Amino acid sequence: MSRRHWIQAWLLLLPAMVFLIAFTHVPAVTTIWNSFFSTPRGRRPSVFVGLDNYERLVADPVFWKVLGNNLWFALGTIPISILLAIVMALFVNRQFRARGLVRMAYFTPTVLPLIAVANIWLFFYTPGFGLIDQILGWLGFGQTNLLGSPDTALPALMAVTIWKEAGFFMIFYLAALQSIPPSLTEAARIEGAGSWRIFWQITFPLMMPTTLFVSVNAVINSFRMVDHIFILTGGGPDNASSLLLYYIYETSFRYWDTSYGATLTVVMIALLCLIAIGQVFFLDRKVHYK
Amino acid sequence: MLAFSLKSVAASAAIALASALPAGAVDLQFYFPVAVGGGAANTIQSLTDEYLAAHPDVKIDAIYSGSYQDTITKVITAARGGNAPQLSVALSVDMFTLIEEDMIVPFDDYLTSDEDKAWLAGFYPAFMENSQTGGKTWGIPFQRSTPVLYWNKQAFAEAGLDPETPPATWEEMVEMGQKLTKKDANGNVTQWGVRIPTSGFPYWLFQGLTTQNDVIVANNEGNKTNFDDPKVVEALQYLVDLSGKYGVMEPGIVEWGATPKAFFEGQTAMMWTTTGNLTNVRTNAPFDFGVAMLPAGKRRGAPTGGGNFYLFKGTSDAQMRAAVDFIQWITAPTQSAKWTMATGYVAPRPETWETDTMKAYAAEFPPVLVARDQLEFAVAELSTYENQRVTQIFNDALAAAITGQKDAATALKDAQAQAEAILKTYR
């Protein structure tokens, strides 16, 4: 390759590279670096503490609690939202009246900001005069306090997340469905296959790349979406609905314990990298690409 | 050559900029939080505008900064980025944190004349407890409050109680609460007796109970807590029993923000909340209501609460003086009376209560006096070094006990151990 091409290539890469380095790589390295120091306070400078922050993390019951919560949160939201997304996509992929309207209705939660959505759900969940309790009241049931009990706070957050996510994933499945050549299903039908069989043997395998993409996104989102916690529960009661990222926020920007925040962040990044790599390698073998 | 010409261009540009500003103009940024319903933010904005109209040489950018929690986060973030506001209202209890972060300056350097010192002495001593430490004044009381008990007179009458007599003791609150708790045919509660919100910052109202049980939860130096004192345990047991044993309060964590609404909707016949909600309740309650001091346990008692003005580092001398002048103006009787009437927050200086406006208002609407009169029994709000974390430990313990995860004694013992681990470095 000539020298001129070489320079041109770098120039073309430069803008993307500058942003990636400035906003991803440098912060990541700084975070790892900071996790080995103590938090500077106005009157006390930061000192090197080696692995102290990591020892503290291992001994921190709140860390294990939020990590566990995050696991349940992922397990509770991802499969259901993917399943719902597929069902909704299959439903709106057919011809019927008001199809556009239904598609829009399914997609609306995605467009709304999570903070706004959380405020609406806060009204649903409010004990006594919230929507859920009003409906239950008509049916003769008593008052609930879904956000105020440790057993139901996290599931209540999961419901909001599923409602928000399913419509988003539906769009990808809808696109996937529309790219499947109709000739395949027609051929299968001529061979005498039923709808169920067509779905499992043709549609679903052909949607695998989408499922991979969606599930990677869903896992990332389950660690990334914490906005509604601020509005709905503030992580309470007693951290029952706190997730890892929310705990990182609290540690770093409420307690201003920035080095412990950095330590938690390192763990989270490591975890996400592992999951993403695992998913791609594990699922990749089962995915049909054209 | 190039360097030289750039330098001279920069210099002349700087001169041009400096001369473009009117001589002596002062720019101030002012963050303020709002923690109550109603139009508190508008009142602050209009007071600021009034000040600006009278002082054309000062420019104040009043920025609504969300809840107290959001405000302290924003202020510290801005200060860390070298971009602190010149003045901010923030929780009085964040004083130790802000001192430790080396972000605020004491007011003493700017209040040197005898007149200024007399002015400083003119605040209620109860409000100064959370504003002074180590012989210096770090905060000036502004949107200060105490929690009070609101009761629904109509509900009292329906339950066969005297609508003019609120509970005066813990026992009475339970007895009346039981009469006020109504159930429908299915046995579901339609109206609770009392509501003490426990979401977000349960420690504050809980401190009402501990004070009434004659115990202080942290020392004045902010470096030692007393969470596992048997009297604190007793107070927490009472709170837990309100929903459990006595069945007069909604079980689980009770939302702070929805509390006034629950009161308006008749979901609860009594509520504990800040006096800062007074005007909100007056405007929105569809029934006759009364306001009383919190009931007494071993004694009467309540914490003070709310926000102080702070001055931030990195501000020029002229800005500091302008900021102090603004604070003196907004806490002066006329303005302070407007603020109290708009919200219900306690005017922090006795002289405000002596003005004709306030006297007339109090004569027409006596509940406004309750929180002020309660100051006699008030103690400092829980405040320690690393305040946010220590109070969160306390909050988590309260939540664990309220939701039945732990018993009161264990929850508080754990919290005390965690708080000790943090605070021992500050002794």
The token duo for A101 is: 């309207």
**Beta-carbon pairs below 8 A across chains A and B:** 102
Interface of B with A in 118-147 (CB under 8 A): none
**Closest by Cα among B192, B256, B206, B259 to B235:** B206
Over range B279-300, report the average pLDDT: 93
pLDDT at A237 over 50: yes
Mean pLDDT, residues B133-155:
92
Distance of CA A207 to the CA centre of its chain: 20
Q: Specify if A80 maps to a domain.
A: yes
Do the Cβ atoms of B392 and A254 come within 8 Å? yes
Question: Does A210 map to a domain?
Answer: yes
Q: Which helix (H) or strand (E) holds B67?
A: none
Residues of B in contact with A239 (CB under 8 A): 396
Count of CB atoms within 10 A of residue B377's CB? 17
In chain B, which residues have their Cβ closer than 8 Å to the Cβ of A238?
Answer: 396-397, 399-400, 403, 405
In angstroms, rounded to a whole number, what is the distance separating the alpha carbons of residues A179 and A185?
12
Query: What secondary structure does DSSP assign to A108-163, as a single string?
Result: HHHHS-HHHHHHHHHHHH-TTTSHHHHHHHHTT-----STTSHHHHHHHHHHHHHH
Locate the DSSP E strands across chain A: none
Q: Does A284 have pLDDT greater than 90? A: no
CB contact under 8 A, A137 and B188: yes
Average pLDDT taken over every residue of chain A = 88
Residue B23 predicted with pLDDT over 80: no
pLDDT of residue A13: 92
pLDDT over 80 at A43, yes or no: no
Q: Which of A5-9, B101-105, B284-288 has the highest mean pLDDT?
A: B284-288
Arithmetic mean of pLDDT over chain B:
88
* pLDDT number for residue B286: 94
User: Model confidence over B298-317: pLDDT tens digits?
Assistant: 999 999 988 999 999 988 88
Q: Are B291 and B280 in contact (CB under 8 A)?
A: no
Average pLDDT, stretch A187-198?
Answer: 87
- B93-103 per-residue burial string, b: 16 or more CB within 10 A, e: under 16: bbbbbbbbbeb
Which pLDDT score is estimated for B133? 85
In a domain, A96, yes or no: yes
Q: Which residue of B has its CA nearest to A152?
A: B252
Q: Which of residues 33-92 of B touch A (CB under 8 A)?
A: 69, 72-73, 76-77
Going by DSSP bridges, is the β-strand pair B182-183/B189-195 parallel, antiparallel, or unpaired? Answer: antiparallel
Confidence of residue B9 (pLDDT cuts 50, 70, 90): very low
pLDDT of residue B186: 80
Cα Rg of chain B (Å, integer)? 24
Name the residue with higher pLDDT: A7 or B187. Answer: A7
- A44-87 per-position pLDDT tens digit: 788 888 888 999 899 888 999 999 999 999 999 999 999 999 99
| Cβ-nearest to A145 among B72, B101, B251 | B251
Decide: B78 and B71 in contact? Cβ < 8 Å.
no
The per-residue pLDDT for B39 is 74
Is the peptide bond between A237 and the residue preceding it cis, with omega within 30 degrees of 0?
yes
Say which residue, B21 or B229, is predicted with more confidence.
Answer: B229
Mean pLDDT calculated for residue range A130-142? 86
Domain count across chain A: 1
Task: Quote the DSSP letter at residue A51.
Answer: T
Residue A19 falls inside a structural domain? no
Using left for φ > 0, alpha for ψ between -120 and 50, and beta otherwise, residue A272 falls in alpha
All domains of chain B in start order, with CATH: 25-145+305-379 (3.40.190.10), 147-303+386-426 (3.40.190.10)
pLDDT, residue B171, reads: 94
Tell me what the mean pLDDT of segment B55-72 comes to. Answer: 89
Q: Is the pLDDT of residue B7 over 60?
A: no
Residue A44 counted as domain residue? no
pLDDT confidence bin for B37, thresholds 50/70/90: low
CB B150 within 8 Å of CB B289: yes
Record the tokens describing residue A68, joined without a space: 């566990």
Are A237 and B254 inside 8 Å of each other by CB? no
List residues bridging with B136 in a β-sheet. B133
Distances in Å between the Cα of A225 and the Cα atoms of A68, A136, A164 are: 16, 29, 11
Percent above pLDDT 90 for chain A: 42
Q: How does residue B101 score in pLDDT terms, banded at 50, 70 and 90?
A: confident
User: How would residue A288 be classed by pLDDT, with cut points 50, 70 and 90?
Assistant: low
- Helix ranges (H only) for B270-403 are 278-284, 317-330, 333-343, 350-353, 356-364, 370-374, 387-402
* Domain CATH code at residue A232: 1.10.3720.10
| Residue-range definition of the domain harbouring residue A248 | 60-284
Q: What is the pLDDT of residues A140-157, one digit of tens each?
A: 887 888 898 889 999 999
Residue A92 is assigned to a structural domain of this protein: yes
pLDDT of residue A42: 66
Give the pLDDT of residue A286.
66
Query: Which range, A132-141, A207-216, B179-188, B407-416, is most confident?
Result: B407-416
The confidence score (pLDDT) of residue B14 equals: 45
A143, A234, A250: residue with CB nearest B188: A143
**Residue B10: per-residue pLDDT:** 47
Q: Is residue B101 within 8 angstroms of chain A, CB to CB? A: yes
User: Do the Cβ atoms of B375 and B413 come closer than 8 Å?
Assistant: no
Average pLDDT, stretch B89-100?
89
Residue A255: its chain B contacts at CB < 8 A?
386, 388-389, 392
Residue A24 counted as domain residue: no
Q: How confident is the model at residue A242 (pLDDT cuts 50, 70, 90)?
A: very high
In a domain, A181, yes or no: yes
Asked if B400's CB is within 8 angstroms of A255's CB, the reply is no
* B227-245 average pLDDT score: 94
For the stretch B40-56, pLDDT in tens is 888 889 999 999 999 98
Three-state DSSP at B247 gives coil
